[in-house]
Structure formats: structure tokens, C-alpha cells
A and B are shown apart, each in its own frame.
Chain A
């Protein structure tokens, strides 16, 4: 029997607000353990939560960017369970009334686009972190992360392959980063994903029994874990067995999933409305304000780049990987009016330099104005493309505009045809043998005369002019 995987993803994205969701502690990553804490996030007796407005704003941005319906009234609930990284003994989350529901986003596949439904988006607080001593029976708790705002994005079970799941994750990641609401750092845990996966016979409408996969900390691992799990479930079903509803952990080292807890061990979280927080009301005005402020999203930007600048899909893809890069490119185009060369210079030399130095485009020593000037100088024939290669390297190194470098190094291209033809005449006179051979049909020697002319001008002559003059003057 042939089986079809059914996959749904739950993404937890840390929102990059300055402060935590229910107190004014810093939400920054990487501080000394327990230094970003206060009585509120430590869950001390008597403290109360107050919702951070910025968190709602960020979650609204994502909700609107994924076409969700915003609930005008939503609420917070308590999810009760005991764990040492959860100081209150409950997590404040949204349960029966999430911030947003019924959204969708398009993903890009080799076969075209596919619409993936988004069930809901809600806000909640993160828990702390346990550190286990390898040599002593001791665990330490760092509560810096406790209360850092999270947004959970739950997809519909619309994904049909690990590749689709990866494409969907990349899409969410890209949007979150574009919106500047999440830094998207998977290693630091600011973008985490759990997956629900089941198999069903092709053609069957009802879903099979699903397993929930956890502990996948990269796009690649999500894909690998799903591939493994689909195989595992496939073998089970084909051999007449049954899939058990359970939570499984991805073991990266072994490349397998391992059962963590079954359905019967599932927690009863005893959700109930948090009496310390009032219903969250989101007015039309606020929604309109955020909507009008939404940036162009990556997929739309790619399409526009392809149609407006005649870029290839690949180039458009590279240039829209970040909003800053796309903005840099567009600014260069605006100033130089030459999309294709701008794309080539940005993607070729500039990105190579930046990548070598692990620098962001925002910190590029070459501003768009300088790059545009350089492109215009090439277009005007003032410098050659070959010279530009050296010039852009120097621009990157020194941060100087191209004009200054050209002036300092005397790099201006020789475009004076009279001067060049004078030199050619001298070269012809000095190399009568080669001239004779060329004229008798040895075309290859054309290159020799180009080289000699370049040498005579120390490489500064415009190669096009050299070509034209040589053709004319060498002709028998």
C-alpha cells in the first residue's frame, strides 16, 4: 500500500522585544545566569503580571503578515505543570482565545506554490533553562529566559513531505526576520519547531495516528527527523503494526527518533483563565496602524524584483534573503539605474567580501551611493570592468568612494582614440613579422596586438576602443 505523510508544525518564535512579556526585565540572550530576573519573573509570592504592549504588537504583525483573522478579544490562561525551570508552577499562555486564527501563507516548491493554512497564533512566556552537572547529581536553574516572550504559530496539517515542511519553516522564518519581530537564531533557540506527523493510505481522507516530534534545532534536522519518522511509521504500517500516539525526541547523533512519553502519560495541564490578567482587546485602529506599517514580504519582493528588474529567479532569491540586502540593492539600482550590473556587483564581489569577514550588509563599508557611482563610471567608460574589480576591493578596504581611488591610483581609462591609434601604429611598425602572419590569415595573433596595446597603456586603455581600432588598422 502506498502511504502519504500528513505533517503539521508548531513553531515557537522568540519575539525580540527589549523587555520580557510580563515584567520589565531585559529579554536579551547571553547574560550571566539569573542576572535578568526580578520578583515577577522569579515567581515570588505576591507578584503579578502586566502584559508588554510591544509583544502584542509584534504578534499582530506576524498574524497580519500570515493573513490571520485577529480576535478582537483574546485572553490568557494558565498551563499548570511542575518543573524547576518554571518558577510559578504554571506557564501563562493563550489557550481557548488566541490572538489570531485562520491564516495562511504560500510556500515555494519546485512544482510551484502551495498554500499552507495557519490554525492559530498565540503569545506565551518562555520557561527558564536547566543546566545539569555532568559529574555531580546537581542541576542548576537559569531563569534569564523565564518570561521572554514567545509566539506560537500552529499550522494546519497541510504539509505532505519533509521538503514541504522545510519550505514552510523557511517561509515562516523569512517572514519573521523580515518583520524584525524575531531574530530567527535557531542555535540560541529563538526559532524552535515541533512536528506532528502521521501516515495515511493515499486517497484516504481520515488522518492516521500521529506522533509528535520534538528536539529538532535546525531546518535540516526537522527534515531528517520527518524523513526518519515517515520511514519508521511506514515500516510499522506495512508490517501490519500500528502507530502509537506519543511524543518522540529526535536524537541528532543517532539520526533516529526515540519515544519520550505515550498518550497515557500526557500531562493534564488544567488550563483555566488567568485571573491576574484582563481580556486583551485589540481595536480596529491598532490593527489598521500595524497593517499600514507592514513591510513588503520576501515572496512578494522576489516577484517584484523578477518583473521590475528582469532578474533571474535565482538572483531575486539571493537579493531578498534579507530586507537589508534587498534595500541595499534597490538603493543601488535607484542611484545607478542599472539593475543587472547592480545585482552582479552586489551578489558577486560585495557579498563575497562581506561573507569572508562575516559582516552584515548593514555594516558594509561600501554604501549604495559608492557602488552606484562605480557602476556609472563603468557605464560611462571611465573605467573598465577589470579595473572595477580592483577598485571595489579597494573601496571595501578603505571605505573610500570610487572617484577618490581612481584619482589616487591614476586608474582612469584611456579613451583617446588618436593616442591609442598612434601607439598601435608604433606596435605594428615594431612587429612586422606578426603583422604579416596575421594578415596572411593567422587570426589568433589579434590577441597578441591587444596585449601589446594594453601593455603600452599599462592596462588603462578602453578594451572596446582597442578592439575597434585594431580591427580597422590590422586589416590588410
Chain B
């Protein structure tokens, strides 16, 4: 068995026992990257030198007995997270050469926890996409089937974890960008409560929806990563001041006596039969754990997609205004005047999907349309949030499919934005309501593609998600498979 195949908690045990070193772990992971990265293309930038330096420091610390939560653990970062001195592209030509002078708060926290950074992972341009196909740096392949997409927008992070090109990765989730690729790549992915993990240094897509979270090989690793990254950040006004628990305490508690809500609106037409079957099986397993599964209704579910595609592009149109060629990033050099420079910089610097959303967002915020679109959408968003608040009065968590289909083929939906948008249909609501969601593997299709199940909880209910996911993972007996690369 190779070290790269293990989990964080397994490696921690080996490190503590003195039977391995950070350098050994890292060289194992890089051997794996060397072997499979050309097929998967999970990374935009591989930071080998930095990682080796960090691993050496970790080994120094280990020698002194100073072992922290993530000492010596190789972790990949979605290329949307600012890293001081390391190129941060956000998957865009616009930032192809951008080197931030500062670290995102989560990056600082991981550094402090002793982590080793393997590199920056591929993603849809500015996190706008569900397949990683809008990246300026080429597509990432799904490790389970190289002709298929890994999901998106954090597809590179999901694929890197699934392909053992790192032990864990960070992604960001604005409408499902962690949970959907986690499901499609057969790994665990969590979107925390809005405000739980600092957004400082996360390149903004839609500020009221964006949230950073981990991709891991199992639920315990997810708890370890969450404990490392969660917590209040004075540099973010929307950061929650709530205390961060040690999330590992939830792992062994079980769900005896819990009530699990099954929203009827999440099992309608369009869902792949194999996905539905796997999720139904999950419900049975959860009942076997002593929880009661009850049907519930989230009546405003049908509006989620529409609301999302107003709110997110509106915020994006403003957030992406800073990429104007003036201060950093790409600039069209031969503009006739200022306006011409702006137009050509933005026309050439952004890809088609980003431009589509900027135009959508600009439109819905325009004078005369604001009330009909943005304002109305914000009001409906309140109703969607209320649906969840009411649901969580009767149940502990909600269980749904993560994605309506398993991984689709590269190019299958690139010409049809609506079809692409529908792949986030089950994940968008959690972002609109600001609640946490977690996707955990629940089986495979007959074609060997992973399927994920999503658990949702009320605000700051990350512990509950880990609790049920850990109990499920332990008792579901999902076949241990690895992608054959």
C-alpha cells in the first residue's frame, strides 16, 4: 500500500508512531501526481518546491514533538484561494499571471496547522460552471472515467482527492461547487454554513453565496479539515462569531432517534434512475441506524434555480468589475482610449460563460429591472430560507441526492447552459438559505460512476452532518474502490 492511498487520520497515526515522515508522504503523493496528472489534469499549478520546504519544516516540528492537526499532510487548494507569492488564476485568462501579495485566511490557517501545499487546482473560470469545462487552462477529467467531467466548479480539487493526488483539498461552493463534484468523483465534500469559514482571500463570485469547504477521502478527514479551517475572522464582516467545536467529537455518536426529512420536491422528473435507487437505498440504511425518515416539503424549491441565476450573476457582475485591465491581471495593450481598453480587455480576458453571467447580472440590476428581478429574487430567497427553517423544526437533517445525474461526458452540456445549470438543482438551495450541506459517496452506477447523497442541516449544523455521514459511512458498506488510472 502506498502512503498516498491513506487518509489524513491514518497518516497522522503513522506520523505519531514515528513510522513515516512528512517527506515520505509528500514524495509518495508526488509520485502519484507524476503518474496520473497528465491524464487527470487536476492542477493548474503544482507547487513542488514550496511543498518540499513545508514538508521539511513539518519534519523538524515532528522531531521536536510539535505535531499539529495537519502537520505534514499534503493538501491541494482550489485556484480561487489567494496564496502569497503563488500564482492564483481563478481559472481565467484574466488572472493567468496574477500573484497575490497575501494569503487567504483559510490558507493561513492551514499553514498554521502544519499543512503542506501540493498545488493549486483547476476550476471553472471564476467558479462559474458545473463541469470544469469553462477553465482557461483546459478541462479536468473525472478519474473514474477520463471521458467524463469531474463536476464543477471545484472539479480539480475533487479529482485531485479522488485520484490520490493529495490527501485533501479545499474548494468553494456557491451553488454546489463542492458537493456536486464530490458526488461525481466519489469523495466527501462539505459546504459549511455561510459565515462559518472565512471568505477573506477567496476570489469572490457571488459574495452572499460563496463558502469555502473541504474535499476528503472520508468523513473523519472532513471533520479534521473543518476543525482546521472554521472560525471567526475579524477581516470578514459576514464571518460568524460562533465558537468552533472540535468536529471529530460528532463522528461516533450515531443517529439513534433522529428524524431525517426527505423532501418530495427533490425526487421528481429528471433524476437518473440509478441515482434515485442509490439514494433510496441510503434512506433504508439511515433507518437501519435508528433514525426515522419522514417525507417533508420545501414548497419553494421550484424557484431556487431562477432565484440563484438572478442573485449570483448580479453579485458577480459587480464583483468582477475590478478586472478592468488597470491595476493587475490581463490588459489589452492597444486600446484606442480608456473605454476601448476596458472593452477589449474584458472581451478577451473573460470566457463565454463568465461574460454571459456578467451580462445577466448587469441586466437584472439595471434601473427599471431591479424590482422585477433582483428585489423579487431576494424576497423569494427569504421564502426558501423559511422553508428550511420550518423543515428543521420537524427534522434533524434533510437527505437528498447531491446531483440528479452521475458524471456526464466532456462536451455533453457545453452548448446548453440550461442543462448545465440543472446539474446544481439539488445543491443551490443550501447556498440560498446559507445552511451547511455535505455530500458523501453512496454507491456506484452499473457503469462504475460514483453517486453521492447530500445531507443538509440548519445553520451551524455541521456537527450533525458529520454525525449522520460518519454513521452512514460506517454502516453502509459502500464497496471500497479506487479509480483505475
Interface size class of A (residues with CB under 8 A): 20 to 34
CB contact list, B305-325 vs A, under 8 A: 314-315, 317-318, 320-322, 324
Inter-chain CA distance A45–B172, complex, in Å, is: 15
Asked whether, in the complex, the Cβ of B237 is within 8 Å of the Cβ of A270, the reply is: no
Inter-chain CA distance A315–B226, complex, in Å, is: 70
- Complex contacts, A88 vs chain B, CB 8 Å: 321-322
* Closest A residue to B326 using CB positions: A84
- Complex contacts, B208 vs chain A, CB 8 Å: 275
Binary per-residue interface labels of chain A (237-281) against chain B in the complex, 1 for a CB within 8 Å, 0 otherwise: 000000000000000000000000000000010111001111000
Asked whether, in the complex, the Cβ of B324 is within 8 Å of the Cβ of A90, the reply is: no
A44 at the interface (CB under 8 A from B): yes
Q: Which applies to chain A's interface (DSSP): helix, strand, loop or mixed? A: loop
Chain B nearest Cβ from A291, distance in angstroms: 26
A39 at the interface (CB under 8 A from B): yes
- Complex contacts, A277 vs chain B, CB 8 Å: 237-238
A216 at the interface (CB under 8 A from B): no
Contact segment of B30-38, B66-74, B96-104, B418-426: B96-104
Asked whether, in the complex, the Cβ of A48 is within 8 Å of the Cβ of B324, the reply is: no
A50 at the interface (CB under 8 A from B): yes
- Other CB < 8 Å A-B pairs besides A44-B82, A48-B236, A270-B317, 12 of them? A39-B100, A44-B101, A44-B322, A45-B88, A46-B204, A49-B237, A80-B321, A88-B321, A88-B322, A89-B324, A271-B370, A276-B204
Contact segment of B195-203, B439-447, B451-459: B195-203
Contact segment of B9-17, B361-369, B470-478: B361-369
Asked whether, in the complex, the Cβ of A141 is within 8 Å of the Cβ of B326, the reply is: yes
CB contact list, B324-340 vs A, under 8 A: 324, 326-328, 338
Inter-chain CA distance A276–B203, complex, in Å, is: 13
Chain B nearest Cβ from A47, distance in angstroms: 7
What are 19 contact pairs spanning A and B, CB under 8 A? A43-B322, A44-B101, A44-B322, A46-B82, A46-B201, A46-B203, A48-B199, A50-B234, A50-B235, A78-B318, A80-B318, A82-B321, A89-B318, A90-B318, A270-B362, A270-B365, A272-B315, A275-B207, A276-B238
Chain B nearest Cβ from A173, distance in angstroms: 32
Inter-chain CA distance A49–B207, complex, in Å, is: 12
Given A270-B367, A275-B207, residue A87 in contact with residue B326 (CB < 8 A):
yes
- Complex contacts, A51 vs chain B, CB 8 Å: 237
A-B contact count (CB 8 A): 100
**B370 in complex: contacting residue of A46, A48, A49, A272, CB < 8 Å:** A272
The winner among B81, B98, B203, B326 for most chain A CB atoms within 10 A is: B326
**B104 in complex: contacting residue of A43, A46, A78, A276, CB < 8 Å:** A46
- Complex contacts, A87 vs chain B, CB 8 Å: 322, 326-327
- Complex contacts, A316 vs chain B, CB 8 Å: none
Q: What is the interface of chain B, defined by CB distance below 8 A to chain A?
A: 81-82, 88, 90, 95, 98, 100-102, 104, 199-204, 206-208, 234-238, 314-315, 317-318, 320-322, 324, 326-328, 338, 342, 362, 365-367, 370, 374
Inter-chain CA distance A471–B203, complex, in Å, is: 94
- Complex contacts, B367 vs chain A, CB 8 Å: 268, 270
**A82 in complex: contacting residue of B199, B206, B324, CB < 8 Å:** B324
Chain A nearest Cβ from B123, distance in angstroms: 14
The winner among A49, A141, A270 for most chain B CB atoms within 10 A is: A270
Asked whether, in the complex, the Cβ of B204 is within 8 Å of the Cβ of A89, the reply is: no
- Complex contacts, A141 vs chain B, CB 8 Å: 326-327
Asked whether, in the complex, the Cβ of A272 is within 8 Å of the Cβ of B314, the reply is: yes
Inter-chain CA distance A89–B342, complex, in Å, is: 11
Chain A nearest Cβ from B320, distance in angstroms: 8
Chain A nearest Cβ from B95, distance in angstroms: 7
A197 at the interface (CB under 8 A from B): no
Chain B nearest Cβ from A385, distance in angstroms: 63
- Complex contacts, B201 vs chain A, CB 8 Å: 46-47
Asked whether, in the complex, the Cβ of A276 is within 8 Å of the Cβ of B237, the reply is: yes
Chain A nearest Cβ from B136, distance in angstroms: 15
